[in-house]
Amino acid sequence: MADVLSVGVNLEAFAQAISAIQALRSSVSRVFDCLKDGMRNKETLEGREKAFIAHFQDNLHSVNRDLNELERLSNLVGKPSENHPLHNSGLLSLDPVQDKTPLYSQLLQAYKWSNKLQYHAGLASGLLNQQSLKRSANQMGVSAKRRPKAQPTTLVLPPQYVDDVISRIDRMFPEMSIHLSRPNGTSAMLLVTLGKVLKVIVVMRSLFIDRTIVKGYNESVYAEDGKLDIWSKSNYQVFQKVTDHATTALLHYQLPQMPDVVVRSFMLKAGEIQGLSPSTPRPSRLRHPAPRSRERKAGRRSY
């Protein structure tokens, strides 16, 4: 062994420890190479399995042997003396270069982000204050402790009532077809088809619309298990945009006292989307004039 220097580090053990680290990395790489190659170079399955297990065990033993050797050498290296003077090199971590420190740019970015957050929070607060609905139980100066908590009766409507409301809405809009199903219990799911334009998946909780997804007419709306796919988006950006607008409208407009009005208004807006579609047929008289009217005009001109 080499002499231990005044700093308390055995340099020969230190060099051997570095070589042990390299050997350990090589043995670990051989383990992963063995796993990557798998069972090869044997005709029978049993022979391949035995050869693979034996080779894998040898590699693991090599890793264990190299690791024990590294632990032994680490104990021989020793600990550097804490009293060793570092002189000016010990002050390098306390004296960073000001030109290379991005402190100003980070502070400026944080300041802009804070101002933008405050601006958007003010806008959101103004929009929420415009709503006539109050979600708090403390209204009209009445204490929440004195006022009994009202039970949300619209959330516990019987399924038969929901079916009747959906059937009435289906009769109101003959240009669309509404298919109601309950694959997950009492909560209803609607598949609304608007001609040959688009399909709308509506997930309901009683008569409240929780989620809506708009897809193209030719897109699949069912998952692999045969149920409605309420998670995947449309493959077309136009229907993704329509889905975002529909979700925003549902979050903005709610009427807990009359939830059927919200559902009816939603279907009415969906019908308007179909009317704006280019694939909707229009009367032929708006496209081309009648041939008889042309003949009459030509006859009048001849006179």
Task: Per-residue pLDDT tens, the chain, 303 aa: give them.
Answer: 444 444 566 788 888 889 999 999 999 998 888 888 777 665 667 777 888 888 889 989 999 999 999 898 888 887 666 565 666 666 666 656 666 667 778 888 899 999 999 999 988 888 887 765 554 444 444 444 555 555 455 567 888 888 999 999 888 888 889 999 888 777 889 999 988 888 999 998 888 888 899 999 999 999 888 888 888 999 999 999 999 998 888 887 777 778 888 888 888 887 776 654 444 434 333 333 444 444 444 444 444
**Buried-state track 81-116, b at ≥16 Cβ within 10 A, e below 16:** eeeeeeeeeeeeeeeeeeeeeeeeeeeeeeeeeeee
Tell me the pLDDT tens digit for each residue of 171-185.
Answer: 888 888 999 988 877
Residue 219: what pLDDT? 93
Sequence-distant (≥ 6) Cβ neighbours of residue 74 within 8 angstroms: 17
282, with CB counted inside 10 A (0-12, 13-18, 19+), is exposed
Residue 149: what pLDDT? 54
Q: How many CB atoms lie within 10 A of CB 248?
A: 10
Residue 213: what pLDDT? 93
Residue 290: what pLDDT? 43
Predicted TM-score (pTM) above 0.85? no
Residue 241: what pLDDT? 92
| Tally of residues, the chain | 303
Spatial separation of the C-alpha atoms in residues 37 and 288, rounded to whole Å: 73
Residue 8: what pLDDT? 60
296, with CB counted inside 10 A (0-12, 13-18, 19+), is exposed
